[in-house]
Chains A and B, each alone.
Chain A
Amino acid sequence: MKARTRNWTAVVAIASTTTALLAGCGQTQSGNTANGSAAIAPKQNTVSTNVVAPTHLVNYSHASGSIVWAESFTTGPVAKQLVAAFEKKYPKIKVTMQVQPSSTDTNRADLTATISGGSSTPDVYMGDVIWPAQFAHAQLAAPLSDYLPKSFWNRFSNGLVQGATYNGKVYAAPLFADTAFLYYRKDLLQKYHLPVPTTWEQVKSEAATIVKKGGAKYGFVWQGADYEGLTCDFDEYLADAGGSVLTNGKASLNTPAANKALSFMRSLITSGVTPKTVDTFQEPQSENVFTQGQAVFLRNWSYAWSDSQNPASSKVVGKVGVTALPTFAGHGSSGYSTVGGWDLYLNPHTKDLAAALQFIDWMTSPQAQEILAANSEMPTIKAVANSPTLKKYSPVFALLPKVKFVSRPSQTPQYPSVSKAIYDNVNEALAGSVSVSTALKNANSQINSAQSGSGSGGL
């Protein structure tokens, strides 16, 4: 026990240094443009992934048994379809589904309590792409790269494995990816003879014009509430302005780029283009305003496409266009989109390792990834993501070559506090209760104290 403690301290020490390095290099390289060949390729992560060699390679080709899979798909029958197809192919393995809370934070709390309590189920669980560092650090996830051959990781699109790596080991298998797009009312743009915007300035002026002429009640809706989603929105403007949350592992929000990003977000509200209530909007509220025909533009994830085409809930079926997010004028042809999505994690206490690995392997196989794509979830493996037939499932997939990706600074186990430092202060600035520069100054110092991972920064 003593030896273990010492060992662990060493790991933490190494981990925190590595984290700083990783986060640093991730952010400095985010200024590059993505190449169009891979569906998801956050540029900061093109450094080839140095996955350590497996220590306990498991042969799972004849696995049998029964496992529990905690799934957090919020809608649709996709989880059931996946399990049915898996059990058909591997009749010796029985998969029981356990439906998780739809709120990501509640889901995390639930999984943390279950797994830290030593439960052997769920054997495999779905988790957010921003969890690997925290879950690895807290040993809530088993290092998959210890059990799977190095070649296993080649199947994934560039950058995704790096995002799931902590301290050289891979803790999660990317299940499906997600990113943000600009949805627009093509009927309104046509009516007022306006082009599809490619800059944020254009979004603002076109939205103002259409609102002024009575075409729609609101111009542009997005996510400004006090939660993780605001970090995503802010990171995009920040990357477009040429900034990043961290530079060489230190907070860098006291920069002109950060000021430009947040000032622009605030100006959307003060100019009346965005309703001031946006500071209470999460995805459903912003999407609702758009699908009820009240807004010209919407920033949202890929699923908003199918929602906007569903006559049961949308009044704008057939009137919606989608394009890559814009950028600031003079900053290239299109803007940055946050990388989101969900991974598969392995419970370190699983009693059926081979069956669990077989399940993870199949879920990231072309057969499963095709099922996901057919359900409008963005595939993570090259074989499916780069297939020309992909766009038949959703027009957003056709835009992927144009999209530039920005990752959140989630390579640190303290990411939740880092993100909170961002969204709390940005939200306050959006509400107008503090100035842009004060908000950024506070965010900057809170990120630095959060990153230390100890002391009052842990709150």
Chain B
Amino acid sequence: MAMEAASTGKKERRSGILQRTDVRAGWGLLTPAGIVILAVTIFPIIYSLFMSFNNIQLTTNGFQFTFTGLQNYKDVYSAPLFWHSVGFTIYYSVITVAVELFFGLLIALAIQNVERLKSISIIVMLIPWALITVISAQMWGYIYNGVYGVLNAILQGLHIIHTQVNWLGQPFTAVVSLMIADIWKTTPFVVIILLSGLQMIPKDYYEAALIDGANAWQSFWNVTFPQLRGSIALAGLFRILQAFGIFDLPFVLTQGGPGTTTTSLAMLGEETLFTNLHFGLGAAVAISTVILILGACLIFLSAFRGMVGEEAQ
């Protein structure tokens, strides 16, 4: 370690002038992107945080702020609807991400093993992911529609059900229907990430396992899975980030109903901000959502690391 540091230190000193111009050019190249990130990510987050501590009135001169400390948070946390949305968002995210990782892994393994159809199956699979969610949600709306929906027609044709099921109009089926649409859309994303992970596992690991007499399950559990954990963590992380922000599917399919059953945190925030025009409260909902997402990601990462770590040992 020490030697390494020393050697790089020497190198730096040697190429000092070159390094400095390099650094300058580097900063120059980074600045435009940095400004964009600052403008569209950092600034809105800080501004939202600021908004969430204020009572905000819209006036012809723009926003007028009155500092109210934690009042917006107190108001938000005393609303049963907020906690309902937190609950829905959490179990919706946990279940969909878990199922997506499971199916994603199965499909990735299947595709990996079918050399000939690999490219075509990747393309076919990517269609749900590539479709704009609002459009695919509209399509699911036609499938789930209780009167002229395709799903009821098929199930009735197969004599599985005898009366039409009101898929989106009953709490339990509405939640499950949303989850299915979500899983259909985002599993391909998980597959792509896992597939690239699979391709990076050296072939000789499997040969070694084979020589040691490992069966398929053993070589999966002792070679594939530990080697893939980085990819699984990555896919899971991305999916959790997205799932906690679930908005477009329930917005199109259920409008948060029946009642408030499928009202996610993002929907609640949007409604508070842009329908009710309560900007302080809406900002408090948004910031709370961000904290929840960060917490969920940390929990996921540490749990995942712990689990894989044990297995690897």
Contact = CB atoms under 8 A, between A and B. Distances in A.
Give the size range of B's interface with the partner: 35 or more
B259 A226 contact: yes
Contacts of B272: 458-459
Majority SS at the chain B contact face: loop
A109 B275 contact: yes
Interface in B260-285: 260-261, 268, 270-272, 274-278, 281, 285
Interface string A137-181: 011100000000000000000000000000000000000000000
A91 interface: no
B168 interface: yes
B58 A138 contact: yes
Given A109-B274, A416-B276, A458-B278, A279 B257 contact: yes
Interface stretch (A305-313, A325-333, A357-365, A422-430): A422-430
A112 B164 contact: no
Interface in A1-42: 4-5, 8, 12
A277 B60 contact: no
A416 B169 CA distance: 22
Interface string B246-262: 00000000111111110
Given A116-B62, A280-B168, A294-B147, A455 B75 contact: yes
Given A277-B147, A455-B75, A108 B274 contact: yes
A389 interface: no
Contacts of A417: 276
B166 interface: yes
Interface string A273-285: 0011111100001
Contacts of B58: 116, 138-140
A263 B234 CA distance: 51
A431 interface: yes
Contact of A279 (B169, B270, B278, B281): B169
A48 interface: no
A226 B255 contact: yes
B171 interface: yes
Interface in A246-300: 275-280, 285, 288-289, 292, 294
B206 interface: no
Nearest to B146: A277
Interface in A55-99: none
Majority SS at the chain A contact face: helix
A276 B218 CA distance: 51
Contact of A280 (B169, B278, B285): B169
A408 B58 CA distance: 24
Contacts, number: 139
B75 A226 contact: no
A102 to B, nearest CB: 13
B166 A138 contact: no
A275 B146 contact: yes
Given A5-B64, A8-B59, A456-B75, A275 B259 contact: no
B254 A280 contact: yes
Contacts of A138: 57-58, 277
Interface string A205-218: 00000000000001
B147 A275 contact: yes
B62 to A, nearest CB: 6
B259 A349 contact: no
Interface in B264-310: 268, 270-272, 274-278, 281, 285
A434 interface: yes
Given A109-B275, A456-B79, A8 B57 contact: yes
Contacts of B64: 4-5, 8
A425 B275 CA distance: 18
Contact of A116 (B63, B66, B164): B63
Contacts of A459: 75-76, 79, 81-82, 268, 271-272, 276, 278, 281, 285
Contacts of B93: none
B258 A226 contact: yes
Contacts of A109: 270, 274-275
Contact of A427 (B62, B78, B259): B259
A139 to B, nearest CB: 5
A456 B276 contact: no
A430 B259 CA distance: 9
A365 to B, nearest CB: 28
A277 B166 contact: yes
A226 B254 contact: yes
Contacts of B145: 277, 280, 285
B59 A276 contact: no
Given A226-B259, A289-B148, A428-B258, 4 more contacts: A4-B64, A8-B64, A431-B171, A459-B79
20 contacts: A8-B64, A109-B275, A112-B274, A117-B62, A134-B277, A138-B277, A139-B58, A140-B58, A225-B255, A276-B169, A277-B145, A280-B254, A285-B145, A288-B148, A416-B276, A420-B275, A433-B171, A433-B259, A459-B271, A459-B278
Interface of A: 4-5, 8, 12, 105, 108-109, 112-113, 116-118, 134, 138-140, 218, 225-227, 275-280, 285, 288-289, 292, 294, 348-349, 413-414, 416-417, 420, 424-425, 427-428, 430-434, 454-456, 458-459
Interface of B: 57-64, 66, 75-76, 78-79, 81-82, 145-148, 164, 166, 168-171, 254-261, 268, 270-272, 274-278, 281, 285
